[in-house]
Structure 1
Amino acid sequence: MDPERDRPTTEGGGWVSRARPRPLPTLRPAQWLGGILVVALAAWVLSGVFTVAADEQAVVRRFGRVTGRLGPGIHYRLPWPVDRVDVVKTTTVMKTGVGFDLPRGEAPIATGMEILTGDTNIIAVAIVLQYVIRNPAAFLFQIEDPPTLIGSLAESVLTETVLGMPVDEVLTTGRLEIQERVKTGTQALLDRYESGIQLTSANIMAITLDSSVAQAFQDVANASADREKKINDGRSYANDLLPRARGEARSMVLAAQSYTQQRVAEAQGNTTRFLELLAEYQKAPGVTRSRLYLEAMEKVLPKVRKYVIDSERGTNPVQLHLSPPTPPQP
């Protein structure tokens, strides 16, 4: 029994324990530093976990050198400063243009780029190009300022294209051809520079002329449009009329063929009857003539009014000639 810890008290005549509290254990500085390092190391290791969204792709660089490209999902890379990750959106459609001001977050403003046409007319053209990122690594590290590069290349192709066309073609029927040439020509140059950019469209937004000649070219365009409309109307009328005319012609041909067959059949029948009659006549000429005469009278007399006249007051018989005359004896 420790006399310092256990002493009697006057209350109740018993013993009461008065133990001193033990001091908490103290950590050494080395232990504190080790714990901090472990936590920091764990945080550093976990910092390598990253995610890539469905519309994104990631480019991994190790000490500045591109080592791979990652698609959507959860990935891990060695923490900084070993690896670095650049994430870009590969499905977002971006815009740039020629003859346009494109303020961020605002609608494009057409200013127009002046170009000389093949027949030495000056026009102002504004064209918008849309593109997506096809190769993130090339897009990030092969080129600088992609919108400016695309605009410069498209301007060069547009100038070359318009220079080979007359102004009336540029204003009327050549717009689609210009758009297609600008798109394909600019894409070819972007591929040559390994830009990682894919053009999706090139759309002419405005083509304007000097006001002194604009009305004349507008009249030409209207006349061309009217001409095309009349041509289309004529083709539509022809497409409607020709089938009906062919049908009527076919009906007439069939009717003529039927009539021809009918007449031929009748002629063949008459020929057959005549040949049969000729054969009978050759056998008995007199009998055949009498039969033909009686048949003719049978057909004619019922339709003729007949008069019997007694010129001799009944003294002489009246010959009605109802039978064929007797042929003379040979």
Structure 2
Amino acid sequence: MQAARLSRLMWLAAGLGGVGLVLSLFVDLFSPNSLWTAVLTTGAAALLLLAAGLQSAQGVALWRARALGSAAPLITVQGAAEDSGWYERLLARISGSGTTLVAQIGKPTLWLGGWALLALISIQLIWNLTLPGSNLSQLGNLAGGAILLLAFGLLVLERQFSSELAAEWPEAGQLAQLTRVVIAVLLVGALCLFFSSADRVWPARLAVLIGLLPGLVAVEFLLRAALSLFSPRNERLEPRLTASSFVAGLLRWPPQPLLALQHELHNRFGIDLRQIWAFTYMRRAFLPVLALVTALGWVLSGVHEIPMQGRGIYERFGKPVEVFGPGLHAGLPWPFGRVIAVENGVVHELATSVSDSSALEQVQDPAEGPPPLTANRLWDASHINEKSQVIASSAGAKQGFQIVNMDVRFVYRIGLTDQAAMAATYNAADVPTLIRSTASRVLVHDFASRTLDELLGEQRAGLADDIGKAVQADLKQLDSGVEILATVVEAIHPPAGAANAYHAVQAAQISAQALISRERGAASDKANVAQLNASIARDQATANAREVMAAAQGADLRFSAERQGFAKAGQAFLLEQYLTQLSQGLAHAKLLVLDHRLGGANNAPTIDLRTFTLPADPTAPSKAVQ
């Protein structure tokens, strides 16, 4: 009777668990990282563990039924021995070895380990404490109501197990404890579905954390299944329930964690801890000692240790009083006094853009190896911590905008003064987010008046200084207590998709500028040559004019002088001028002087005007004798 009932309950629990896992799989395919996956998987894992416990109890009930003679005897039909080949004998030998191994291990142990392993793997697959909140609307309320109905049915089953007498059904108490585990998981899952919303993350976190309860039970089942391999088996002795859980036994009120240990010692070894004076004294003194230790720990919570690289803001009744330096400091115990840790000179580097750091694995690259991927600054690929920014653009007489990728980093720290520490703690909930938002606003305002050529050219040197001063001014105005130590512009370039086009435009622009410069040089050369020729012609004309004027002036002066000389000397001056001109004219002439006085008075001179050719050229050299 008990075995049949446990069999039906086992198949029902296993079926519900399997349906829950299948639904969770389909939900994960269409909506990954959803609250539905966590709730369905944890509930299904708890139901599978309950099915494992029911199956283990069914095995014990079957043995008890066979021992009482109520079970039908096993009938073994042996067929006639037939001749078979070597292949059939090999299969029979392998089958016999497998059957022997399973008989040695035990089917209940294998089933228990399989159920526990399946539940543990299911919980491990949905373990994610970063699930976002989700709005499930009316569907979540309907599913929560259905889960509450299932939990109510399990509560009825748990009450039935608890009402059974231990003498009539010893396994009922353990099954009731496993049922409480399933009820607790289902109630928490329904609570998460009822209170789930887009702005609440605690339902998703709680739905994942409740998986610890069936996970611990599954681990305990695996350990019990592994340890059962070393226990001797005797078919004549009643087997013990392997699927008993210490973790599930803690779900009772009042909690009695040592009750199971006390029962085991009394049943196995006959040791009754209640009769030992030392344990009785320890039980009586436990609460006073616990209260004293708790009070001492509460008083010592007012002693605070500040590390060398940190500071602490001491709050008394919620009001900041002073800033503690490194060392030990005493104050009021919690919650009347507390110390909020603040950095002391720790330098941070912050990028203006946020990257998915969870998807990136931080690997220390060797010094002699290739450079890491984070050091790649080529324009043809997008890089980590780069963001797009709109900048000014001008094409001819038209104004527009362009998009560039940039990586701007800030090196900052919390100010070293006490006022800066308090400002950074109370005026800013998240310092990196504040710096990033302030820097984004400054970058948008600053880049709106700069073009790409200016950013890549002469203005890049002063860009980091301007951005750092503007961000520091805004942070100081907000009284954030943050000190910007340096601003580093890692990279500014066009987007990766437009990098090649930008290179082509730059090359064309450089070629055009080179052609323009070359033509300007040729035009300037020609202009210089023309200017030189014109200058030479002008200078030559000026010189000729000056010479003509000088000659004319000289002739005028000479004429004036001769006229004055003629006026003073008369005919003598003319004769003198005549003789002077005659001597100048005859200075290089070949003269033939004729004197009329030669030959007497009656004989006139004879002039031979004939031309004779010389018989030989007296200046020509004589030929050499052959």
Q: With structure 2 as the length reference, what TM-score do the two structures score?
A: 0.29
Moved more, 197-206 or 29-38: 29-38
2:409 alignment counterpart: 128
- 1:64 and 1:180 map into 2 onto residues whose CA distance is 40
User: Which one of the candidate residues 180, 184, 209 is aligned to 2:469?
Assistant: 184
User: Which one of the candidate residues 152, 177, 182 is aligned to 2:437?
Assistant: 152
Tell me the amino acid that sits aligned with residue 113 of structure 1.
S
CA contact (8 A) 2:391 2:451 kept: no
2:443 paired with 1:162: no
Tell me the amino acid that sits aligned with residue 213 of structure 1.
Y
User: Which one of the candidate residues 368, 378, 389 is aligned to 1:114?
Assistant: 389
2:311 alignment counterpart: 57
Going from structure 1 to structure 2, the CA distance change for 1:94 and 1:74 (only over 3 Å counts) comes to same
User: Which one of the candidate residues 166, 172, 194 is aligned to 2:479?
Assistant: 194
User: Which one of the candidate residues 316, 321, 328 is aligned to 1:67?
Assistant: 321
What per-residue deviation string (whole Å, max 9, x for no partner) do you get for residues 18-60 of structure 1?
Answer: xxxxx99x99x99997766555443322222221111100011
User: Which one of the candidate residues 79, 86, 89 is aligned to 2:343?
Assistant: 89
Superposed displacement of residue 94, structure 1: 2.0
What per-residue deviation string (whole Å, max 9, x for no partner) do you get for residues 282-308 of structure 1?
Answer: xxxxxxxxxxxxxxxxxxxxxxxxxxx
Higher helix residue share? 2
Superposed displacement of residue 183, structure 1: 0.8
Going from structure 1 to structure 2, the CA distance change for 1:206 and 1:152 (only over 3 Å counts) comes to same
Superposed displacement of residue 127, structure 1: 0.7
1:101 alignment counterpart: 355
User: Which one of the candidate residues 426, 429, 433 is aligned to 1:141?
Assistant: 426
Alignment partner of 1:101: what SS? coil
Tell me the amino acid that sits aligned with residue 129 of structure 1.
F
CA contact (8 A) 1:97 1:126 kept: yes
User: Which one of the candidate residues 214, 226, 232 is aligned to 2:503?
Assistant: 214
- 1:203 and 1:219 map into 2 onto residues whose CA distance is 31
- 2:284 and 2:474 map into 1 onto residues whose CA distance is 63
Alignment partner of 2:357: what SS? coil
CA contact (8 A) 2:390 2:447 kept: yes
Superposed displacement of residue 160, structure 1: 1.9
Alignment partner of 1:184: what SS? helix
What per-residue deviation string (whole Å, max 9, x for no partner) do you get for residues 297-323 of structure 1?
Answer: xxxxxxxxxxxxxxxxxxxxxxxxxxx
1:172 alignment counterpart: 457
Alignment partner of 2:323: what SS? strand
What per-residue deviation string (whole Å, max 9, x for no partner) do you get for residues 254-288 of structure 1?
Answer: xxxxxxxxxxxxxxxxxxxxxxxxxxxxxxxxxxx
Instruction: Quote the RMSD (CA, aligned, Å).
Output: 3.5
- 1:173 and 1:206 map into 2 onto residues whose CA distance is 15
Write the mapping of 1:10-25 to structure 2, written as runs, cut at 5 A: none
What per-residue deviation string (whole Å, max 9, x for no partner) do you get for residues 138-188 of structure 1?
Answer: 222211222222111111212222222232121022123111111111111
User: Which one of the candidate residues 288, 298, 304 is aligned to 1:44?
Assistant: 298
- 1:57 and 1:176 map into 2 onto residues whose CA distance is 37
CA contact (8 A) 1:139 1:197 kept: yes
Going from structure 1 to structure 2, the CA distance change for 1:172 and 1:83 (only over 3 Å counts) comes to same
Tell me the amino acid that sits aligned with residue 69 of structure 1.
V
2:592 alignment counterpart: none
Higher strand residue share? 1
With CA pairs under 8 Å and 6+ residues apart, which has the higher RCO, 1 or 2?
A: 1
Going from structure 1 to structure 2, the CA distance change for 1:208 and 1:35 (only over 3 Å counts) comes to closer
Tell me the amino acid that sits aligned with residue 153 of structure 1.
T
Superposed displacement of residue 206, structure 1: 1.4
Moved more, 99-108 or 173-182: 99-108
Superposed displacement of residue 77, structure 1: 1.5
Alignment partner of 2:338: what SS? strand
1:265 alignment counterpart: none
2:28 alignment counterpart: none
Q: With structure 1 as the length reference, what TM-score do the two structures score?
A: 0.52
